[in-house]
Amino acid sequence: MRLSVLDQSPVINGFTPAEAVRETIKLAQAADELGYHRYWLAEHHNMHGLADPCPEILLGAIGAATSRIRVGTGGVLLPYYSPVKVAEIFRMYEALFPGRVDLGVGRAPGGDMLTAKAINPVSFYANDAFPQQVAETVGWLDDDLPDDHPFKSVRAMPTGAGAPEVWLLGSSDYSGALAAHLGLRFAFAHFINARGGDGVSQAYRYSFQPSQRESSPYSLACVFVICAQSAEEAERLAAPIDHRRVLMATGRESLVPTTEEALAWSYTDQERAIIARERERAIIGTPDTISHKLREIQDSFQADELMLITITGDYASRLRSYELVADTFDLQSVSV
């Protein structure tokens, strides 16, 4: 199985956002050595617990610190930005790290709507603009804008052979349908929405229209995973994400608590119900449990690969979770 990593650069209580960013670079280097296929960075704004608002910048540090693994974004939130500027950034990365760059794009705000308005006051008021933004970004990446495009003569530099892979990201049927229509790769966020993703991914594959970029459909599912040597330890390590999801579901947001802080928290019955509900979008357990459930998801999604996101109450156990999964799937032999 081909496995990859999504990193949201979580800020654990007791650490600074700058330290969280450095931990992202360390984890990317470990993922490179462990045999993971690609390493994506998420974009979030004005969130205390997530340190990366600009994955297009952090990607440069990740690319320079690694040698084999594909590097990219999961994703650039395209409504905020100019398609030609995004194409320029990623053509530059293709020049720096040829054959290793992914451009994953999404349409979510990555935070609250007040923050979205502060970043770009008109970005999320033209709901029908996203398909054109995607098509223009791809057109500039490939120097293949339509002949009647008003900026046909504008080139996204640096030009050259090769171009980043382009992925559409989503947690509903919208992006899957658009990816199929445009002939692009598709990533479904199971870690956001645990229900219906298999149907969305299957529909994407069924309705896929070949393009100059992709002759056949290619998809992945991104899954939240915590892996430990024992089921008891995995449950203990899940306490911080349970706590964070309760806060998010009730309109609060904070740093990721340590395991000890999360275990000491006293929950109401309503909050325990939230935890039980939110557990649907996480796989927590031993290597055997993780292996079995990941294979089930791959089969039901008909996914070409899976991407894993792990957040715990300390950076060491997060790394250990990825190590255990890599060992279970023997990723180093797969990546050779």
pLDDT in tens, 287-328: 999 999 999 999 999 999 999 999 999 999 999 999 999 999
Looking at the structure of the chain, the number of domains it has is 1
Identify the H or E element spanning 132. Answer: helix 130-141
User: Looking at residue 254, what is its pLDDT?
Assistant: 92
Who wins on pLDDT, 1 or 50? 50
User: Looking at residue 336, what is its pLDDT?
Assistant: 52
Q: Does a structural domain hold residue 274?
A: no
Q: Does a structural domain hold residue 71?
A: yes
User: Looking at residue 266, what is its pLDDT?
Assistant: 93
Mean pLDDT of 89-118: 95
CA pair distance 255, 244, nearest whole angstrom: 8
Q: Does a structural domain hold residue 166?
A: yes
Mean pLDDT of 127-145: 93
pLDDT tens figures, 153-162:
999 999 998 9
Give the domain extent around 161. 3-226+285-335
Mean pLDDT value across the chain: 96
User: Looking at residue 102, what is its pLDDT?
Assistant: 98
How is residue 72 written in tokens?
């990219």
pLDDT above 90 (res 335) = no
pLDDT above 70 (res 144) = yes
pLDDT tens figures, 236-248:
999 999 999 999 9
pLDDT above 60 (res 259) = yes
Q: Does a structural domain hold residue 252?
A: no
Rounded to the nearest 10 degrees, how much is the dihedral formed by the CA atoms of 270, 310, 91, 115? Answer: 30
CA pair distance 55, 7, nearest whole angstrom: 10
User: Looking at residue 333, what is its pLDDT?
Assistant: 80
pLDDT band (50, 70, 90) for residue 283: very high
pLDDT band (50, 70, 90) for residue 124: confident
User: Looking at residue 94, what is its pLDDT?
Assistant: 97
Q: Does a structural domain hold residue 278?
A: no
Which amino acid is present at 274?
A: I
Q: Does a structural domain hold residue 246?
A: no
Q: Does a structural domain hold residue 272?
A: no
Q: How many CA atoms lie within 13 A of 174 on its CB side?
A: 11
CA pair distance 188, 209, nearest whole angstrom: 18
CA pair distance 26, 9, nearest whole angstrom: 11
Which amino acid is present at 127?
A: N
Q: What percent of the chain has pLDDT over 90?
A: 93
pLDDT band (50, 70, 90) for residue 21: very high
Structural contact between residues 292 and 299, judged by C-beta atoms closer than 8 angstroms: no
Q: Does a structural domain hold residue 203?
A: yes
User: Looking at residue 126, what is its pLDDT?
Assistant: 66
User: Looking at residue 127, what is its pLDDT?
Assistant: 64
Mean pLDDT of 122-131: 80
Mean pLDDT of 173-184: 97
- Which residue has tokens 């120097």? 143
Partnered with residue 283 across adjacent β-strands are 225
Identify the H or E element spanning 225. Answer: strand 219-227
Residue 170 is part of a domain; what is its CATH number? 3.20.20.30
Mean pLDDT of 83-97: 98
pLDDT above 60 (res 329) = yes
